[in-house]
A = this chain, B = another copy of it.
Protein backbone atom coordinates (compact mmCIF):
# COMPACT_ATOMS: atom_id res chain seq x y z
CA UNK A 1 0.00 0.00 0.00
CA UNK A 2 1.19 3.51 -0.76
CA UNK A 3 0.19 6.73 0.94
CA UNK A 4 -3.52 6.54 1.86
CA UNK A 5 -4.39 10.14 2.74
CA UNK A 6 -2.96 13.62 2.29
CA UNK A 7 -4.05 16.10 4.93
CA UNK A 8 -2.84 19.65 4.56
CA UNK A 9 -1.80 21.84 7.44
CA UNK A 10 -4.29 24.42 8.65
CA UNK A 11 -2.10 27.18 7.20
CA UNK A 12 -2.66 25.65 3.76
CA UNK A 13 -6.41 26.34 3.78
CA UNK A 14 -6.86 28.40 0.60
CA UNK A 15 -7.00 32.17 1.02
CA UNK A 16 -9.28 32.80 -1.99
CA UNK A 17 -12.29 31.14 -3.56
CA UNK A 18 -12.33 30.64 -7.34
CA UNK A 19 -15.07 32.28 -9.39
CA UNK A 20 -15.63 30.36 -12.62
CA UNK A 21 -17.68 33.29 -14.01
CA UNK A 22 -14.34 34.98 -14.81
CA UNK A 23 -13.43 32.16 -17.21
CA UNK A 24 -16.73 31.58 -19.01
CA UNK A 25 -16.57 31.83 -22.83
CA UNK A 26 -19.64 34.14 -22.77
CA UNK A 27 -21.20 36.26 -20.01
CA UNK A 28 -23.77 34.55 -17.77
CA UNK A 29 -27.43 35.17 -18.58
CA UNK A 30 -28.92 37.45 -15.90
CA UNK A 31 -31.81 36.42 -13.63
CA UNK A 32 -35.10 37.90 -14.85
CA UNK A 33 -38.13 39.23 -13.04
CA UNK A 34 -41.75 38.30 -13.85
CA UNK A 35 -41.72 41.15 -16.39
CA UNK A 36 -38.89 39.53 -18.31
CA UNK A 37 -36.41 42.24 -17.35
CA UNK A 38 -33.18 41.62 -15.41
CA UNK A 39 -33.75 41.64 -11.65
CA UNK A 40 -32.15 44.70 -10.03
CA UNK A 41 -29.92 44.51 -6.95
CA UNK A 42 -32.49 46.39 -4.82
CA UNK A 43 -34.96 43.50 -5.18
CA UNK A 44 -32.27 40.97 -4.26
CA UNK A 45 -31.11 43.07 -1.29
CA UNK A 46 -34.48 42.47 0.33
CA UNK A 47 -33.48 38.88 0.91
CA UNK A 48 -29.64 38.74 0.66
CA UNK A 49 -27.04 41.02 2.29
CA UNK A 50 -24.78 43.26 0.18
CA UNK A 51 -21.53 41.25 0.38
CA UNK A 52 -23.30 38.04 -0.71
CA UNK A 53 -25.01 39.82 -3.57
CA UNK A 54 -21.65 41.25 -4.71
CA UNK A 55 -20.27 37.71 -4.85
CA UNK A 56 -23.37 36.54 -6.71
CA UNK A 57 -22.76 39.07 -9.49
CA UNK A 58 -18.97 39.24 -9.40
CA UNK A 59 -16.76 38.66 -12.44
CA UNK A 60 -13.55 38.66 -10.36
CA UNK A 61 -11.60 35.42 -10.72
CA UNK A 62 -10.36 35.20 -7.11
CA UNK A 63 -12.40 36.32 -4.11
CA UNK A 64 -10.66 36.58 -0.72
CA UNK A 65 -11.78 34.33 2.15
CA UNK A 66 -11.98 36.38 5.38
CA UNK A 67 -9.75 35.27 8.26
CA UNK A 68 -12.81 34.64 10.45
CA UNK A 69 -14.19 32.24 7.84
CA UNK A 70 -10.85 30.43 7.52
CA UNK A 71 -10.72 30.12 11.33
CA UNK A 72 -14.18 28.52 11.37
CA UNK A 73 -13.25 26.27 8.42
CA UNK A 74 -10.30 25.13 10.53
CA UNK A 75 -12.71 23.34 12.88
CA UNK A 76 -12.72 20.56 10.26
CA UNK A 77 -10.76 21.73 7.20
CA UNK A 78 -8.57 21.00 5.31
CA UNK A 79 -10.51 17.80 4.63
CA UNK A 80 -8.54 14.71 3.57
CA UNK A 81 -7.82 13.65 0.00
CA UNK A 82 -7.65 9.85 0.02
CA UNK A 83 -6.47 7.18 -2.36
CA UNK A 84 -8.96 4.29 -2.54
CA UNK A 85 -6.34 1.63 -3.13
CA UNK A 86 -8.42 -1.13 -1.50
CA UNK A 87 -11.29 -0.34 -3.86
CA UNK A 88 -8.92 -0.37 -6.85
CA UNK A 89 -7.70 -3.86 -5.84
CA UNK A 90 -11.26 -5.19 -5.45
CA UNK A 91 -12.20 -3.80 -8.87
CA UNK A 92 -8.97 -5.08 -10.41
CA UNK A 93 -8.61 -1.82 -12.29
CA UNK A 94 -5.39 -0.19 -13.51
CA UNK A 95 -7.02 3.18 -12.72
CA UNK A 96 -6.03 5.15 -9.63
CA UNK A 97 -9.03 6.30 -7.60
CA UNK A 98 -8.92 9.34 -5.32
CA UNK A 99 -11.66 10.93 -3.27
CA UNK A 100 -12.07 14.09 -1.21
CA UNK A 101 -13.96 13.37 2.02
CA UNK A 102 -16.30 16.19 3.05
CA UNK A 103 -18.14 14.11 5.67
CA UNK A 104 -15.62 15.26 8.32
CA UNK A 105 -17.54 18.52 8.83
CA UNK A 106 -19.68 18.80 12.00
CA UNK A 107 -22.87 18.56 9.91
CA UNK A 108 -21.43 15.62 7.96
CA UNK A 109 -21.36 17.05 4.42
CA UNK A 110 -19.94 19.80 2.22
CA UNK A 111 -22.86 22.15 3.05
CA UNK A 112 -21.10 24.06 5.89
CA UNK A 113 -18.50 25.26 3.32
CA UNK A 114 -21.11 27.80 2.23
CA UNK A 115 -23.13 28.06 5.46
CA UNK A 116 -20.09 29.42 7.33
CA UNK A 117 -19.30 32.30 4.91
CA UNK A 118 -23.01 33.08 4.44
CA UNK A 119 -23.41 33.44 8.21
CA UNK A 120 -20.22 35.52 8.44
CA UNK A 121 -21.06 37.95 5.62
CA UNK A 122 -24.54 38.38 7.05
CA UNK A 123 -23.06 39.14 10.45
CA UNK A 124 -20.72 41.72 8.91
CA UNK A 125 -23.61 43.31 6.99
CA UNK A 126 -25.62 43.76 10.18
CA UNK A 127 -28.15 40.96 9.67
CA UNK A 128 -29.80 40.12 13.00
CA UNK A 129 -31.14 36.68 12.16
CA UNK A 130 -31.18 34.15 9.31
CA UNK A 131 -34.16 32.29 7.94
CA UNK A 132 -33.99 29.28 5.64
CA UNK A 133 -35.78 26.12 4.66
CA UNK A 134 -34.65 22.51 4.70
CA UNK A 135 -35.94 19.25 3.29
CA UNK A 136 -34.22 16.26 4.84
CA UNK A 137 -32.11 18.59 6.97
CA UNK A 138 -28.57 18.73 5.51
CA UNK A 139 -28.68 22.44 4.73
CA UNK A 140 -30.71 23.42 7.80
CA UNK A 141 -28.28 21.71 10.15
CA UNK A 142 -25.30 23.31 8.38
CA UNK A 143 -26.78 26.80 8.72
CA UNK A 144 -27.76 26.21 12.37
CA UNK A 145 -24.15 25.25 13.07
CA UNK A 146 -22.80 28.25 11.11
CA UNK A 147 -25.15 30.70 12.82
CA UNK A 148 -24.06 29.39 16.21
CA UNK A 149 -20.39 29.96 15.30
CA UNK A 150 -21.04 33.69 14.80
CA UNK A 151 -23.83 34.27 17.31
CA UNK A 152 -26.58 34.68 14.69
CA UNK A 153 -30.01 33.14 15.46
CA UNK A 154 -31.28 30.79 12.73
CA UNK A 155 -34.89 29.81 12.04
CA UNK A 156 -35.49 26.83 9.78
CA UNK A 157 -38.73 25.92 8.03
CA UNK A 158 -38.50 22.13 7.76
CA UNK A 159 -40.86 20.24 5.45
CA UNK A 160 -43.44 18.74 7.84
CA UNK A 161 -43.18 15.18 6.59
CA UNK A 162 -39.41 15.25 7.18
CA UNK A 163 -39.85 17.01 10.52
CA UNK A 164 -41.94 14.08 11.67
CA UNK A 165 -40.15 11.21 9.93
CA UNK A 166 -36.52 12.35 10.31
CA UNK A 167 -36.15 13.57 13.89
CA UNK A 168 -32.34 13.12 14.02
CA UNK A 169 -31.48 15.98 11.67
CA UNK A 170 -34.01 18.17 13.47
CA UNK A 171 -32.30 17.35 16.76
CA UNK A 172 -28.91 18.28 15.30
CA UNK A 173 -30.28 21.71 14.38
CA UNK A 174 -31.67 22.13 17.89
CA UNK A 175 -28.37 21.03 19.43
CA UNK A 176 -26.72 23.89 17.55
CA UNK A 177 -29.40 26.27 18.80
CA UNK A 178 -31.44 26.43 15.59
CA UNK A 179 -35.19 27.03 15.80
CA UNK A 180 -36.96 24.40 13.70
CA UNK A 181 -40.57 24.74 12.58
CA UNK A 182 -42.71 22.16 10.79
CA UNK A 183 -43.78 23.80 7.53
CA UNK A 184 -46.50 24.83 6.65
CA UNK A 185 -46.85 26.98 9.77
CA UNK A 186 -49.34 29.53 11.02
CA UNK A 187 -46.62 32.20 11.02
CA UNK A 188 -46.89 33.15 7.33
CA UNK A 189 -49.75 33.98 5.00
CA UNK A 190 -48.55 31.18 2.69
CA UNK A 191 -48.76 28.70 5.54
CA UNK A 192 -52.06 29.94 6.93
CA UNK A 193 -53.74 29.79 3.51
CA UNK A 194 -52.56 26.23 2.94
CA UNK A 195 -53.57 25.06 6.41
CA UNK A 196 -57.00 26.63 5.96
CA UNK A 197 -57.45 24.48 2.85
CA UNK A 198 -55.97 21.36 4.47
CA UNK A 199 -54.94 21.28 8.14
CA UNK A 200 -52.98 18.08 7.43
CA UNK A 201 -50.83 19.56 4.66
CA UNK A 202 -47.52 17.65 4.84
CA UNK A 203 -45.47 20.45 3.29
CA UNK A 204 -42.96 20.53 0.45
CA UNK A 205 -39.64 22.23 -0.25
CA UNK A 206 -41.43 24.77 -2.43
CA UNK A 207 -43.80 25.70 0.42
CA UNK A 208 -40.94 25.93 2.92
CA UNK A 209 -38.98 28.26 0.60
CA UNK A 210 -42.06 30.44 0.18
CA UNK A 211 -42.56 30.67 3.95
CA UNK A 212 -38.88 31.50 4.59
CA UNK A 213 -38.76 34.20 1.91
CA UNK A 214 -42.11 35.68 2.98
CA UNK A 215 -40.88 35.97 6.56
CA UNK A 216 -37.63 37.60 5.45
CA UNK A 217 -39.24 40.27 3.26
CA UNK A 218 -41.70 41.17 6.02
CA UNK A 219 -39.28 41.10 8.99
CA UNK A 220 -36.62 43.82 9.27
CA UNK A 221 -33.13 42.56 10.17
CA UNK A 222 -33.79 39.10 8.71
CA UNK A 223 -32.07 37.65 5.66
CA UNK A 224 -32.46 34.45 3.69
CA UNK A 225 -29.77 31.85 2.95
CA UNK A 226 -29.78 29.21 0.22
CA UNK A 227 -27.67 26.04 0.20
CA UNK A 228 -27.08 25.41 -3.53
CA UNK A 229 -27.85 26.58 -7.09
CA UNK A 230 -26.73 30.23 -6.78
CA UNK A 231 -23.32 31.51 -7.90
CA UNK A 232 -22.09 32.56 -4.45
CA UNK A 233 -22.85 29.11 -3.01
CA UNK A 234 -20.78 27.42 -5.70
CA UNK A 235 -18.06 30.02 -5.19
CA UNK A 236 -17.78 29.03 -1.50
CA UNK A 237 -17.75 25.34 -2.38
CA UNK A 238 -14.65 25.76 -4.57
CA UNK A 239 -12.69 25.41 -1.31
CA UNK A 240 -13.11 21.66 -1.98
CA UNK A 241 -11.43 21.61 -5.38
CA UNK A 242 -8.80 24.18 -4.40
CA UNK A 243 -7.66 22.05 -1.47
CA UNK A 244 -7.79 18.94 -3.64
CA UNK A 245 -5.42 20.55 -6.16
CA UNK A 246 -2.80 21.15 -3.44
CA UNK A 247 -3.25 17.58 -2.25
CA UNK A 248 -2.94 16.11 -5.74
CA UNK A 249 0.37 18.01 -6.06
CA UNK A 250 1.63 16.24 -2.92
CA UNK A 251 0.46 12.87 -4.25
CA UNK A 252 2.30 13.74 -7.49
CA UNK A 253 -0.89 13.17 -9.48
CA UNK A 254 -3.44 15.09 -11.53
CA UNK A 255 -6.95 13.82 -12.30
CA UNK A 256 -7.95 12.73 -15.80
CA UNK A 257 -11.62 12.65 -14.82
CA UNK A 258 -13.65 14.24 -12.00
CA UNK A 259 -17.01 12.88 -10.82
CA UNK A 260 -19.48 14.50 -8.44
CA UNK A 261 -23.19 14.19 -7.70
CA UNK A 262 -25.23 17.03 -9.16
CA UNK A 263 -28.55 18.24 -7.73
CA UNK A 264 -28.43 22.02 -7.41
CA UNK A 265 -24.79 21.92 -8.52
CA UNK A 266 -22.76 23.16 -5.54
CA UNK A 267 -21.15 19.79 -4.85
CA UNK A 268 -20.12 19.28 -8.48
CA UNK A 269 -19.11 22.90 -9.06
CA UNK A 270 -17.11 23.04 -5.84
CA UNK A 271 -15.06 19.99 -6.75
CA UNK A 272 -14.65 20.54 -10.51
CA UNK A 273 -14.44 24.30 -11.18
CA UNK A 274 -10.95 24.86 -9.69
CA UNK A 275 -9.60 22.24 -12.10
CA UNK A 276 -11.42 23.94 -14.98
CA UNK A 277 -9.46 27.06 -13.95
CA UNK A 278 -6.29 25.18 -14.87
CA UNK A 279 -7.79 24.25 -18.23
CA UNK A 280 -8.80 27.87 -18.86
CA UNK A 281 -5.27 28.98 -17.96
CA UNK A 282 -3.79 26.58 -20.52
CA UNK A 283 -2.29 24.18 -17.96
CA UNK A 284 -1.21 21.17 -20.01
CA UNK A 285 -2.08 18.69 -17.27
CA UNK A 286 -5.72 19.75 -17.62
CA UNK A 287 -5.86 19.76 -21.42
CA UNK A 288 -7.75 16.45 -21.59
CA UNK A 289 -9.55 16.80 -18.24
CA UNK A 290 -13.15 15.57 -18.22
CA UNK A 291 -15.59 16.70 -15.52
CA UNK A 292 -18.70 14.55 -15.13
CA UNK A 293 -21.82 15.69 -13.25
CA UNK A 294 -23.71 12.65 -12.00
CA UNK A 295 -27.47 12.87 -11.59
CA UNK A 296 -30.27 10.42 -10.74
CA UNK A 297 -31.90 8.69 -13.72
CA UNK A 298 -35.25 9.67 -12.18
CA UNK A 299 -34.40 13.39 -12.10
CA UNK A 300 -32.16 13.80 -15.17
CA UNK A 301 -31.91 17.59 -15.41
CA UNK A 302 -28.71 17.95 -17.43
CA UNK A 303 -29.12 14.80 -19.50
CA UNK A 304 -32.81 15.11 -20.40
CA UNK A 305 -33.86 18.67 -19.53
CA UNK A 306 -33.97 21.78 -21.71
CA UNK A 307 -31.74 24.88 -21.40
CA UNK A 308 -34.24 27.68 -20.78
CA UNK A 309 -35.39 30.33 -18.34
CA UNK A 310 -37.39 28.81 -15.48
CA UNK A 311 -38.29 29.45 -11.88
CA UNK A 312 -35.91 28.25 -9.18
CA UNK A 313 -38.74 26.99 -6.99
CA UNK A 314 -41.81 24.90 -7.57
CA UNK A 315 -44.35 27.67 -7.09
CA UNK A 316 -42.82 30.44 -9.23
CA UNK A 317 -41.81 32.72 -6.36
CA UNK A 318 -38.14 33.24 -7.36
CA UNK A 319 -36.63 35.15 -10.29
CA UNK A 320 -36.27 33.28 -13.57
CA UNK A 321 -32.88 31.69 -14.16
CA UNK A 322 -31.34 30.38 -17.37
CA UNK A 323 -30.62 26.75 -16.62
CA UNK A 324 -31.23 23.16 -17.53
CA UNK A 325 -34.66 22.33 -16.19
CA UNK A 326 -37.27 19.62 -16.21
CA UNK A 327 -39.94 22.26 -15.60
CA UNK A 328 -40.47 23.94 -12.23
CA UNK A 329 -43.59 21.90 -11.44
CA UNK A 330 -41.91 18.56 -12.17
CA UNK A 331 -42.10 16.46 -8.98
CA UNK A 332 -39.16 14.02 -8.94
CA UNK A 333 -39.81 10.45 -7.76
CA UNK A 334 -39.08 9.78 -4.08
CA UNK A 335 -35.50 8.53 -4.29
CA UNK A 336 -33.43 8.44 -1.10
CA UNK A 337 -30.90 10.97 -2.43
CA UNK A 338 -33.19 13.85 -1.45
CA UNK A 339 -30.45 16.38 -2.17
CA UNK A 340 -30.55 15.48 -5.87
CA UNK A 341 -34.34 15.87 -6.28
CA UNK A 342 -34.27 19.27 -7.96
CA UNK A 343 -36.00 20.18 -11.21
CA UNK A 344 -33.32 22.67 -12.26
CA UNK A 345 -29.59 23.18 -11.89
CA UNK A 346 -27.08 25.88 -11.09
CA UNK A 347 -26.97 28.45 -13.93
CA UNK A 348 -23.14 28.22 -13.92
CA UNK A 349 -23.13 24.42 -14.19
CA UNK A 350 -25.89 24.63 -16.81
CA UNK A 351 -23.98 27.13 -18.96
CA UNK A 352 -20.79 25.04 -18.81
CA UNK A 353 -22.78 21.99 -19.84
CA UNK A 354 -24.49 23.90 -22.64
CA UNK A 355 -21.07 25.04 -23.89
CA UNK A 356 -19.83 21.43 -23.72
CA UNK A 357 -17.08 22.18 -21.19
CA UNK A 358 -18.43 19.56 -18.81
CA UNK A 359 -20.32 16.28 -19.23
CA UNK A 360 -23.27 14.70 -17.45
CA UNK A 361 -24.44 11.15 -16.84
CA UNK A 362 -27.54 9.74 -15.14
CA UNK A 363 -27.47 6.61 -12.94
CA UNK A 364 -30.31 4.48 -11.54
CA UNK A 365 -30.93 4.29 -7.79
CA UNK A 366 -30.21 0.62 -6.98
CA UNK A 367 -26.83 0.76 -8.74
CA UNK A 368 -25.83 3.75 -6.62
CA UNK A 369 -26.40 1.83 -3.38
CA UNK A 370 -24.57 -1.17 -4.80
CA UNK A 371 -21.61 1.16 -5.35
CA UNK A 372 -21.98 2.71 -1.90
CA UNK A 373 -21.89 -0.67 -0.16
CA UNK A 374 -18.89 -1.76 -2.24
CA UNK A 375 -17.12 1.44 -1.26
CA UNK A 376 -17.98 1.08 2.45
CA UNK A 377 -16.66 -2.48 2.48
CA UNK A 378 -13.45 -1.44 0.75
CA UNK A 379 -12.67 1.89 2.42
CA UNK A 380 -14.74 1.95 5.62
CA UNK A 381 -16.77 5.12 5.15
CA UNK A 382 -20.53 4.67 4.64
CA UNK A 383 -21.51 7.28 2.04
CA UNK A 384 -24.65 9.42 1.86
CA UNK A 385 -27.10 8.39 -0.90
CA UNK A 386 -26.23 11.54 -2.88
CA UNK A 387 -22.53 10.69 -2.68
CA UNK A 388 -23.24 7.16 -3.92
CA UNK A 389 -24.04 8.69 -7.32
CA UNK A 390 -20.51 10.00 -7.81
CA UNK A 391 -19.05 6.71 -6.58
CA UNK A 392 -21.19 4.74 -9.06
CA UNK A 393 -20.01 6.77 -12.04
CA UNK A 394 -16.40 6.57 -10.90
CA UNK A 395 -16.57 2.80 -10.43
CA UNK A 396 -18.13 2.44 -13.88
CA UNK A 397 -15.18 4.34 -15.37
CA UNK A 398 -12.69 2.26 -13.37
CA UNK A 399 -14.30 -0.86 -14.81
CA UNK A 400 -14.01 0.58 -18.34
CA UNK A 401 -10.31 1.17 -17.61
CA UNK A 402 -10.07 -2.50 -16.67
CA UNK A 403 -11.36 -3.36 -20.13
CA UNK A 404 -9.09 -0.95 -21.97
CA UNK A 405 -6.06 -1.19 -19.70
CA UNK A 406 -5.91 2.60 -19.28
CA UNK A 407 -4.24 3.70 -16.01
CA UNK A 408 -6.42 6.80 -15.63
CA UNK A 409 -6.41 8.96 -12.52
CA UNK A 410 -10.01 9.26 -11.33
CA UNK A 411 -11.28 11.65 -8.66
CA UNK A 412 -14.67 11.88 -6.98
CA UNK A 413 -16.08 14.12 -4.29
CA UNK A 414 -17.37 12.07 -1.34
CA UNK A 415 -19.68 14.84 -0.24
CA UNK A 416 -21.00 13.31 2.98
CA UNK A 417 -21.51 10.29 5.24
CA UNK A 418 -24.70 8.27 5.45
CA UNK A 419 -25.13 8.16 9.24
CA UNK A 420 -28.60 9.69 8.96
CA UNK A 421 -29.56 7.63 5.92
CA UNK A 422 -29.25 4.10 7.27
CA UNK A 423 -32.92 3.35 6.61
CA UNK A 424 -32.15 3.80 2.90
CA UNK A 425 -29.47 1.11 3.25
CA UNK A 426 -32.05 -1.04 5.07
CA UNK A 427 -34.36 -0.81 2.04
CA UNK A 428 -31.45 -1.71 -0.22
CA UNK A 429 -30.48 -4.79 1.80
CA UNK A 430 -34.12 -5.86 2.05
CA UNK A 431 -34.38 -5.72 -1.77
CA UNK A 432 -37.12 -3.10 -1.42
CA UNK A 433 -35.31 -0.37 -3.31
CA UNK A 434 -36.63 0.31 -6.80
CA UNK A 435 -35.31 1.99 -9.90
CA UNK A 436 -38.01 4.42 -10.81
CA UNK A 437 -38.78 4.38 -14.50
CA UNK A 438 -37.64 7.44 -16.41
CA UNK A 439 -40.60 9.79 -15.83
CA UNK A 440 -40.87 10.80 -19.49
CA UNK A 441 -44.53 11.79 -19.47
CA UNK A 442 -44.34 13.84 -16.29
CA UNK A 443 -41.32 15.70 -17.68
CA UNK A 444 -43.04 16.35 -21.01
CA UNK A 445 -46.03 17.72 -19.13
CA UNK A 446 -44.03 20.01 -16.83
CA UNK A 447 -41.93 21.30 -19.72
CA UNK A 448 -45.17 22.57 -21.26
CA UNK A 449 -45.48 24.94 -18.29
CA UNK A 450 -42.15 26.68 -18.77
CA UNK A 451 -42.63 30.43 -18.37
CA UNK A 452 -42.60 32.45 -21.58
CA UNK A 453 -39.77 34.96 -21.68
CA UNK A 454 -39.24 37.93 -23.99
Q: Which of A386-435 contact B (CB under 8 A)?
A: 419-420, 422-423, 425-426, 429
A104 at the interface (CB under 8 A from B): yes
A4-B426 in contact (CB<8A):
no
> Can you identify 22 A-B contacts, CB atoms within 8 angstroms?
A3-B10, A4-B10, A5-B74, A5-B75, A75-B379, A75-B380, A76-B380, A86-B149, A104-B104, A106-B380, A106-B381, A167-B422, A167-B423, A171-B422, A171-B423, A171-B426, A172-B422, A174-B425, A175-B373, A175-B377, A175-B382, A175-B429
Q: Which of A1-18 contact B (CB under 8 A)?
A: 1, 3-5, 7, 9-10
Known contacts A3-B10, A4-B71, A71-B1, A145 near B380 by CB under 8 Å: yes
Question: In the complex, which residue of chain B has the Cβ closest to the Cβ of A67?
Answer: B1
CB distance from A372 to the nearest CB of B (A): 8
CA distance A377 to B1 in the complex (A): 39
Chain B residues near A176 (CB-CB < 8 A): 376-377
CB distance from A213 to the nearest CB of B (A): 27
CA distance A377 to B149 in the complex (A): 7
CA distance A377 to B147 in the complex (A): 10
A177 at the interface (CB under 8 A from B): yes
A168 at the interface (CB under 8 A from B): yes
Name the one of B149, B167, B420 contacting A419, with C-beta atoms under 8 angstroms: B420
A426-B108 in contact (CB<8A):
no
Query: Which range contains the number of A residues in contact with the other chain?
Result: 35 or more
A148 at the interface (CB under 8 A from B): yes
A7-B7, A7-B9, A106-B381 known, 6 other contacts, Cβ within 8 Å: A4-B71, A5-B75, A86-B149, A145-B380, A174-B425, A177-B377
CB distance from A10 to the nearest CB of B (A): 6
B422-A377 in contact (CB<8A):
no
Q: Which of A288-340 contact B (CB under 8 A)?
A: none
Chain B residues near A429 (CB-CB < 8 A): 171, 174-175
Question: In the complex, which residue of chain B has the Cβ closest to the Cβ of A148?
Answer: B377
A382-B177 in contact (CB<8A):
no
Question: In the complex, which residue of chain B has the Cβ closest to the Cβ of A108?
Answer: B419
CA distance A149 to B297 in the complex (A): 32
CB distance from A115 to the nearest CB of B (A): 11
Ordered nearest first, which 9 A-B pairs have the shortest CB separation? A106-B380, A4-B74, A171-B422, A419-B419, A168-B422, A1-B71, A7-B7, A75-B380, A175-B376
CA distance A304 to B309 in the complex (A): 71
Chain B residues near A168 (CB-CB < 8 A): 419, 422-423
Return the CB mask of A121-152 against B: 1 if under 8 Å, else 0: 00000000000000000000000010011000
CA distance A106 to B148 in the complex (A): 27
B382-A75 in contact (CB<8A):
no
CA distance A3 to B382 in the complex (A): 30
B425-A175 in contact (CB<8A):
yes
CA distance A331 to B325 in the complex (A): 60
